[in-house]
Each structure stands twice: as structure tokens, then as C-alpha cells.
Structure 1
Amino acid sequence: MAVKLLSETLINQIAAGEVIERPASVVKELVENAIDAGARRIEIATAAGGKSLIRVTDNGFGMGPEDLGLAVQRHCTSKIEGELDHISTLGFRGEALPSIGSVAKLRIQSRPDGADTGFEVRVEGGRMTEPRPSPGNKGTIVEVRDLFFATPARLKFMKSERAETGAITEVVRRMAIAFPEVRFALSGPDRTSLEFPATEDDRLARIAQILGRDFKENAIELDAVREDVRLTGFACVPTFNRGNSLHQYMFVNGRPVQDKLLISAIRGAYADTVPRGRYPVATLFIELDPALVDVNVHPAKADVRFRDPGLVRGLIVGAIREALTREGGRASTLGAEGMIQAFRPGFGSQTAAPQSRPSGFGNAPYFHGGQRPQNYAMDQSPFRPLETAAVAGFAEERQAVFGDVDRPSARGESAPASDHAPSAEDATDHPLGAARAQLHENYIVAQTRNGLAVIDQHAAHERLVYEALKQSLHADRTPSQVLLIPEIVDLAEEDCDRFMAHADAFAELGLAVERFGPGALAVRETPAILGEIDAAGLVRQLADDIAEWDDASGLKSRIDHVAATMACHGSVRSGRRLTIEEMNTLLRQMEATPGSGQCNHGRPTYIELKLSDIEKLFGRR
């Protein structure tokens, strides 16, 4: 078969298959064009989920007749000159408008500032008309009708109108977060009107418009710099989480992206603080020299490639963990809201589900995987991995707070309060206040300066013991056990190369691996705390994680999981009566321990209720 040149219309339709995947893709491209044109007001109207109508109106610079004629031709753009390593605009490929015009009925009406009249151009199924005069205000109106009418097979892959409408809304939400100085309005017969007024430089106010007031009340501000990369934004406390990752927003130089590296970094930063199956809420803004990031990875421009991905990932993980250490002990406001609802008249008439939790804390099982872990019998382990400094830290932590478990109060008997307990007047000035009572031998009620706090004593102490264990385990090289016969693991050569790039980090965690030929690894030592494990399976899992996420934190997570299980079984149990001194000691240690706002399984350790909320319950406010 002879080689021949494809027609321009067919070329554009092929390109449209990559650029225009669905109506939301059209909205994204047109809104990006409006922002690049300096628009401060953008209105989007749709019908039938964007399949029958998409209209984007802006008050940007506008275009004259010459620019209009070129704008609908492939690879014509005003946004880039010369090299691709200094892209500062959202659009730059010059493919969006001709791709849309090749599969839909496209009309562009525009008038630049200072012009007496505007002009319009039409493109239908790839056939373009000449620009002609048309009345209009300053700015541009782009109208797309009958999307994919020229490629009807593509319509079969469209989802329901409701799903397509939701995808369009999500695109606008992401653009609105990225550009708080722009007013966005979204309307159409298939949705209620949605408007995001401009908030100028107040990024948090714009995010609150989109994600709700709860985000603002649970957000921790981020601002960190490493070399030439700056990270700003907000990360929410771990107990403020969601059932999917749709509330994770990432932007690189103002461009909304959905990049695996960034998603992996957020996951790593919140490791062991968010329940399994739940996702943290965060908005991250990365600013760096355009030469250090490649945005020309895919026509959709949702993926990026960093010149130094390790630097970017380390910056995100470090900044979020520092923020959680600084303020991670805060309780989610959703807990207080659930508590208020529980006290409202009529609430008690409803039968609550067993072990129900306040809204917003997730539905994850109490233990990872939904099953209670087996008791760790360290005295029966042939490797006795805890005969290290971790044992001393574990015992000292328990003794410091609760002393001897065989004393009367440990057996549920009454024990007198110590004469050395801090006075209630002084303790109420602390964040968690002064202990007043213990309910059902598990919940501590404390009075704060402006309200009260209810603390789950088992969950709180579990976190304290866990942090002490982690600090002991990771303070030095994790103890390892030498295998009598090295385990040989066959892997693809490229997987071996990637794995050995992290060999030093694995060795610090007790996993000693050496190269064994071009396509195999030899495992000589494994972390002692893991006991008898499938070394080959562990190495293969770590290799898969590195290949997919460029992330080698899986081994540390497994070690931390064992430490979490030990902390759960080694902490004070529910049903134990505590003295006032013990309760106050627990509160003070919680205030000094990073991440004490949630237990090892992601459940909240305490709920705080303001005095004003209590007064509302009694109609005093």
C-alpha cells in the first residue's frame, strides 16, 4: 500500500482523540485560553453535559480578524517562541481549537480592546469560514455545539450527562483554586448555577469557597523552600480525611496536574496517620523555574516530569510532616460537630450502629485490614527483635505514664489521687486542659479554658507508645537477622537497577541486598522486627512500588505497622481506672507528642467542644 499524506481534517481529528477526550477537556482548554488572555471574569454555560453546548465567555484581551483566522489552524499560537524549556502559559501547543473544530461546530466571536467592532469565525467538521464582522463586548466568546458530531463513534464512549457535568464542574473547581483572582461562573439547564467570586490574593478563602468552611478550619499552612523549588498551600489534619483522592489538588507553576509523583508524596507524608482506605485532604502549589519541569509530556498537559523528582518529593514529604508535627495534634472540627449532633434533642431516639463514629472520621476498621492482629509474643520469637534499645524505650514509656500494671487501679479498683497532681486551675491553661472525670473506664473528660475535651485513653496512649517505639527503632540502624542461606530473587534487570539505587536506605532499615548477576538480587539480611517473612515476596513488592511510584518507603511502613500492633497491645486498655494524676500526665504527654491527635489506626484520640457550642445546646446563645 502506497504512503500518502493525510488530509488536514483527518489529522486534526486524530489529534482531537488525544486532546479532546470528553466535554470536560473542551472546557479545560477554553478556560486555559481565557486565563492566558488575561481574563478576570470567565463564564461557562453547558447543556446535556457539554455534549450539545459549551459556551465560554471571558473579558480578556480579545483577537482581531487576522488572529482569529490563525487561531483555528493547527500549531498556531501566540504563547510560545523559540524553546520549550521556558513555558510560562497554560496553553502552548496550538492544537486545542483546530481539534475542537474538527469534531464539533465551533464559533469564536472576539473583539480586542479599543476596536470598533468584533469579528467571528466558524469551523464545522474541520471546514473554516473567513472571519467576518460581528458585534460583541471586549473579550472572547467560544461556543461549541454538537461535540463529536463528526466522529459519532466517539459519542458511544461518553458517560451519562450527570457524569459529564460533574467532570466539567471538577475542571472549573481546579482552575478556580489555581487562580483566586479570577471570577468563575458555571451555569446550564443540567445544573444549578455555581459561582466563585474573585478573592484576589486570599487563596485560602477561594479554597474554602470550593471545599467548604470545614477545610479552612482544619487546614495547616505550608510554606517551604528547597534549593530552587518552593512549596506553598495547605494540608489538613489527618482526622479530616475523605473516601477518595478527589480532594487532593496539585498545581505546578499554576497549572493543575494529576501527577503520580505528587500523589505518592502526599501518601508518604501522611503514612501511619490516616486510616487505610481513607485519603488526606490537601492543596499543594509548587513553583520552580520552568526549565526544571517538562509540561510537554502529554497533549492533555495533566502529567509533568521534574528534572529532580527526588528533590520535589522530599520537599513535599518534609513540609507536610513538619506541619503535622507542629500542629498535627489538633482535633478535626468534624468531631465536635458530630458530638453536638449527638446531644441534640431527639438524637437518642435513633438506634446508633455499633461502634459508630462521628461523621468525617471514616469507616475504616479499627485495625488495619479489618482484622484484629495477632498478639506479638516477643518472648517466644526465635529472633527476639526487641532485645534492643526499643525494649527500654517501650518499657520506660509505659512506666512513665502508668507505672506498674499490677497496682490496684490497674485491676479496676479505686486508687487515691497523688498529692503531687497539678492543680486544676493551672492545668486548664494547657491545650487539653485539666482532667475532671473518667467515663466508662475509657474516656477522660477534661476542662479547658474555653470548653471541654473528651479523650480516648487507649487510643491516646497507643499513639504515645507507638511514637516512642518508632523513635527507638529509627534512631539507629534497624536490627536485622542474617539469613543462613541467602534468598535469591529473580527480577528484570531494570527492576534490579532501580532497587539497588535504594540499597543504602534499605540497609538502614535492616534489609541487606546485593546484586547477584544481571537479573537477580541476593537477600542476606531482613529486619528482625518482621520475624519470619517471605523475603522474595517483600523484595518483589518493594520493586513494584519503586517502579510505579519511585517510592521506597514500603519497608519502613511494614516496620511501622508491626510497631503499631505492638503499641496497641502494650498500651493501657479500655476499662482501666485512672487517677487524676495519671489522666493529667497522659494529657501533658499528648500535648508534647507529634501526631497525638489520632491513634495508629487513624481514629481521633480526642474531641474538643467549645464553650460557645455547649451554650448553644442549652439555648444560652
Structure 2
Amino acid sequence: MSELAPAPRRPIRELPDTLISQIAAGEVVERPASVVRELVDNALDAGASQIAVRLLAGGVRLISVEDDGSGILPEELPMALKRHATSKIGSLADLESVGTMGFRGEALAAINAIADCALLSRVGGQVHGYLLEGQTGEITPVARSTGTTVEVKELFFSTPARRKFLKTDATELAHCVEAVRRHALARPDVGFAIWHEGKLVEQWRRCGDLGSLPALEQRLADVLGADFVARSVWVDFSTQATPGRPDHAPVIKVWGRAGLPDAARARGDQQFCYVNGRFVRDKVITHAARSAYEDVLHGQRQPVYALYIDIDPTRVDVNVHPTKIEVRFRDGREVHQAVRHAVESALAAPRAGQALAHAAAGVASPSAGSARVSERGETPIPAAGLGNGPDPSERPPTPFAYSQAPMRFDAPAGHRVNDLGALWAPAPSGAAASLLAPAA
């Protein structure tokens, strides 16, 4: 058997900038929705109050994000498309306490490496705006109002293999709409509009100032539907700072809306978590919210909620994933406890009100033993008088109960109970005890 020839030695060399950007694009850009998310992040950081997203072919042929933010100076436009160029951070201290949506500085450069990009921007006070062509670097003056427009054409044109992994236009459009919807739920002070093939797909008008509770409730109703607000309760919970700790543990505030148990869904497609205004998928938060429903929600049903967590930026690391959708907490336990207590406290109020209503009607509360739930999590069995029929307070109590008939030990061999009605026969409630007595 011949021996394998040794692998030839490969020299270490520096990668070209274009390949570096294309590698970074593989981490940042998964599909058109990834580009939409990054561009909307930049628009929000620029202080925009109106954002319009225009798409063609689900975002594959064109993604255009237009805002009315502060704009970019013409001398800074070429820097916007360079790798690791950003206005969001300038030191390690800024990175450890990020307060903006975008900050990494590689998104636009990565997108420009796999698509045909163009930036059109105007700063307030300028006579006109300027257009930067991403492939040539040429800058020309154009007419535009204050703000910025980023156009991304023919996504993955330079990496055709990645384009083959995209889904249908309808599927990619749905992902783009979902990306904008997540931003809209966190920013009721900003208006959003989504256009596809020249037709308006979704529009959410500006509801009010950031932090206004009526504005947030209106935005939740506009995005998730009025039924979500009607079948949910308000969440408002804050933890107290721990005295004596050297770092003076800050207050964690959890607020938003949590759906009632009967509003649960088969899928977890209406579970939105935000940390300092940033949509995240975090196992700690998800587990905490689900555990708050463990006594009232059984089986595989998924609760619905929109929870917003405000925490000191120095106690959360948002730089753990290129897409910025995952975070890491310095103390995950305190976040878990805060979220669970917040949701539990919110759900306890309607349950207590329901118990008072049952007591006022002279009916035992389900939480007082009127329902039996098996250890396997089966459907609760309601007590008599708590069905969907007339109000129990408007009808006399039913004068019978169900009891099992006594066993006949003197029955002839081969005796069988063929009629289930004979096994569980209705009997007067006063005679229930006599039915359980042994036969004479």
C-alpha cells in the first residue's frame, strides 16, 4: 500500500480587501431582510421620523431605504462604504456601553461587496444633496431633501452561489416585512412604509413620542392587531437597586404587554423581546416569560407578548453576534427573575379579578378547586354549573350528582355492564351516600 504524499505547504498571505468584505457579507447578509434590518438601523440612528422601504422581487433586485434623518456630509460619503468605518463608537468605552442600533461599521462595506450600492444624502443647510456610486466611488450633486437614501441593487450579483439559496420572492418579502415590523414595535415615534413592486404593502403612521404609553399601545394595535391589545394585560415592573454592592446594581425595568392564557397560539410568532430598544432572541428572556405561564398554560401552546427591558448598557453585551440579534447579560439570573416576576404579577391581576367575580356570583373560583387538572397536563374538567350555559346565578342548583353504582358480588358468573349509563347513572344528590353503601 503506497503512502499518501504530504500536502504541499501553503504560504500565509494577506487576503485582498474585496474577499475580506465578501467573507464579512456571509456573516452579516443572509437574505434581503438582513440588508433591510441594517439599513433601518442606520436610519433610526440618524434620527429619522419617517422611513420608507421600497423593494423589487422580494428585495433581490432592489432594496431602497429612504429616511429624513440628519444626513451625511459629502466628504464623509466615501468613508461610509469602507470597512470598520462608523460614527457610532470611537473607543472601547463606547463599545462597552453601546446606545445605538448599529455600531460595527462593516455592514455597508459588506453589502457593497456583494451588490451594486448607491448613497444619496443631504445635510440640513446644504443647497443640494450628493450621490455616491458604490462601485466607482464617483460623487455627483443631485436634488434631494434632508436625509439619506441607500439603494442596493442585484443582491449577491458578485456571489451567484449565495443567490441560489434564496427562497421565492413572496417568502423573501415576508422576511423583509417582519424585519421592519420588529423595528416598528419598538419605535412608535417613527412612521414606516413598505412598498413592493410599486404597491404599498404595509404602513404604520407615527403615533407619538418615544416612551409614551398611549403611543406604544396604538402601535401595538396597528402592528399586531386590536385583538392583541384586548386579550393582553399591561406589564410594568422594576427591580430595586441592591444596596451595598460595589457596582451599585442598576434598576431593571420590564414593561409592555403580555397576552392572557386564552390568547396563546400554536406557534411562537408573536413573541417580541427588546433590550434597550433592540430586538433580540435570548434564551434567558424566553425561558423566563414561558415559566411565568407554567401554572396557567399547558401543553405546547405558546404565549404572546411584547416585552421591553431597560437595563444599564454596561450590563449587557450586544457585540456577541454580527447580526446583533443576540446579547449576553452580565447577570442573567437577575434578568430572568425580573422578567418572570413582571409577567407573573401582570397575569395575577386578571386572575384575582376573575376569582372575585365568581365569589360575587356565588360560584366557586376555578383556582379554589372547581377544576381538576391531571398531573399529565390534560384539559381541566370544569365543575358543575361553570359551563357555557346560562349564568349559574340565574338558575337553581342542579339537584343531582354523579355516583358509581355499587358492585354486585352476588351477580352470576359472566355478568357484564353493557350500558355505561348503568355504571354512571344520575342519582339524587341526597341519595349519593346510600348508593355507595354495600348491597343488602
Normalised-by-shorter TM-score class: 0.7 to 0.9
Counterpart code for 1:48: A
- How far 1:578 moved relative to its partner? 12
1:108 aligns with 2:127: no
The answer to whether residue 215 in structure 2 is matched with residue 215 in structure 1 is no
Match of 1:481 in 2: none
Where does 1:33-432 land on structure 2 (aligned, <5 Å)? 33-83=42-92, 84-124=95-135, 128-189=136-197, 192-200=200-208, 201=212, 202-226=215-239, 227=241, 228-328=251-351, 430=357
The answer on whether the counterparts of 1:237 and 1:330 sit within 8 Å (CA) in structure 2 is no
Cα distance, 1:574–1:217 mapped onto 2, change above 3 Å:
closer
Q: Is the 8 A contact 1:40 1:182 kept in 2?
A: yes
**Change beyond 3 A, Cα 1:464–1:584:** farther
Kindly provide the amino acid, as one letter, of the partner of residue 89 in structure 1.
T
TM-score normalized by structure 2? 0.77
Letter aligned with residue 242 of structure 1: R
Q: Which ranges of structure 2 fall in alignment gaps of 5 or more residues?
A: 1-9, 242-250, 398-440
Q: For residue 271 of structure 2, what is the amino acid of its counterpart?
A: Q
What do the CA deviations read for 1:442-473 (whole angstroms, capped 9, x no partner)? xx9xxxxxxxxxxxx9xx74x43289x9xxxx
Is the alpha carbon distance of 1:187 and 1:580 closer, same or farther for their aligned partners in structure 2, counting shifts above 3 Å? closer
1:131 deviates by 2.5
Separation in 1 of the partners of 2:236 and 2:268? 22
Measure, in 1, the Cα distance between the counterparts of 2:353 and 2:358: 10
Residues 288 and 36 (structure 1), Cα distance of their counterparts in 2 relative to 1, 3 Å cut: same
Deviation (angstroms), 1:239:
0.4
- Distance in 2 separating the partners of 1:42 and 1:141: 10
Per-residue deviation at 1:191?
6.0
Measured after TM superposition, the shift of residue 192 of structure 1 is 4.3
Tell me whether 1:465 sits opposite 2:360 in the alignment: no
Which one has a larger percent helix, Structure 1 or Structure 2? 1
Q: 1:571 to 1:95 in 2, by over 3 A?
A: same
| Deviation string, structure 1 residues 491-526 (Cα, Å, up to 9, x no partner) | xxxxxxxxxxxxxxxxxxxxxxxxxxxxxxxxxxxx
What is the CA-CA distance between 1:259 and the residue it aligns to? Answer: 1.4
Deviation at 1:279, TM superposition (A): 1.1
- The alpha-carbon distance between structure 1 residues 571 and 12, as it changes in their structure 2 partners (threshold 3 A), is same
- For 1:191 and 1:266, how far apart are their aligned partners in 2? 38
SS at 2:218's partner residue?
A: helix
**For 2:353 and 2:303, how far apart are their aligned partners in 1?**
15
Distance 1:237 1:584, change over 3 A: farther
User: Match of 2:110, as an amino acid?
Assistant: S
Amino acid at match of 2:65: V
> Identical aligned pairs, as a percentage?
38
Offset of 1:291 from its aligned partner? Answer: 0.2
Paired amino acid for 1:36: D
SS for the counterpart of 1:246 is: coil
Classify 1:121/1:584 alpha carbon distance in 2 versus 1 (closer, same or farther; 3 Å). farther
Q: How many residue pairs are counted as aligned between the two chains?
A: 369
Say which SS state the counterpart of residue 369 (structure 2) adopts.
helix
The amino acid that maps onto 1:111 is R
Q: Counterparts of 1:391-540 in structure 2 under 5 Å? A: 430=357, 434=361, 461=366, 463-465=367-369
Q: Give the secondary-structure state (helix, strand or coil) at the position aligned to 2:262.
A: coil
Q: Distance in 1 between matches of 2:194 and 2:382?
A: 54
Secondary structure of the residue aligned to 2:155 is: coil
Residues 192 and 115 of structure 1: is their aligned pair in 2 closer, same or farther, counting only changes over 3 Å?
closer
Q: Secondary structure, in 3 states, of the residue corresponding to 2:76?
A: helix
Question: Secondary structure at 1:242's aligned position in 2?
Answer: coil
1:123-151 deviations in whole A, cap 9, x for unaligned?
A: 23xxx413332221110011111000000
One-letter identity of the residue aligned with 1:120: L
Q: Deviations over 1:65-124 (max 9, x none)?
A: 121110100000001121221100000000110010000000100010111121111223
Query: For the Cα contact (< 8 Å) 2:280–2:326, is it kept in 1?
Result: yes
* Cα contact 2:299–2:377 (8 A) shared by 1: no
**Residues in 2 aligned to 1:230 and 1:261: alpha-carbon distance in whole angstroms:** 16
Give the Cα separation in 2 of the matches to 1:296 and 1:564: 40
- Return the alpha-carbon distance in structure 2 between the equivalents of residues 246 and 579 of structure 1: 36
CA RMSD of aligned residues (A): 3.0
Cα distance in structure 1, aligned partners of 2:204 and 2:359: 38
Unaligned runs of 5+ residues in structure 1 are 332-428, 436-443, 445-456, 470-559, 586-621
CA contact (8 A) 1:466 1:563 kept: no
CA contact (8 A) 1:49 1:190 kept: no
8 Å CA contact retained: 1:221, 1:235: yes
**Alpha-carbon distance in structure 2 between the residues aligned to 1:191 and 1:328:** 45
- In 2 relative to 1, CA 328–164 (structure 1 residues): closer, same or farther, beyond 3 Å? farther
Give secondary structure in 2 for the equivalent of 1:193: strand
The residue identity in structure 2 corresponding to 1:4 is R
**Alpha carbons of structure 1 residues 110 and 330: separation in structure 2 relative to 1, 3 Å:** farther
Deviations 1:288-324 (A, max 9, x none): 1110000001000000001110101111111111111
**Pairwise CA distance, 1:430:** 4.6
Q: Which amino acid aligns with 1:209?
A: D
Per the alignment, do residues 135 and 281 of structure 1 end up closer, same or farther by CA in structure 2, a change over 3 Å counting? Answer: same
Cα 1:322–1:33 change in 2 (3 A) is: same
Structure 1 position 223, deviation (Å): 1.1
User: 2:320–2:326: 8 Å Cα contact kept in structure 1?
Assistant: yes
Give the Cα separation in 2 of the matches to 1:103 and 1:97: 10
The Cα of 1:272 is off from its aligned counterpart by 3.3
**In the alignment, which residue of structure 1 is the partner of 2:11?**
2
Distance 1:104 1:570, change over 3 A: closer
Q: Does the CA contact (< 8 Å) of 1:224 and 1:230 recur in 2? A: yes
TM-score, length of structure 1 as denominator length: 0.56
Helix, strand or coil: the match of 2:207? Answer: coil
Displacement of 1:562 after TM fit?
2.0
Deviation at 1:276, TM superposition (A): 1.9
Cα drift, residue 263 of structure 1: 1.3
Kept in 2: contact 1:110–1:118 (CA 8 A): yes
CA offset at residue 60 of structure 1?
0.3
Report the Cα distance in structure 2 between the residues aligned to 1:67 and 1:238, rounded to whole angstroms: 52
Q: What amino acid is aligned across from residue 129 of structure 2 in structure 1?
A: G
In 2, distance between residues paired with 1:206 and 1:197? 8
In 2, Cα distance between the equivalents of 1:117 and 1:574?
A: 71
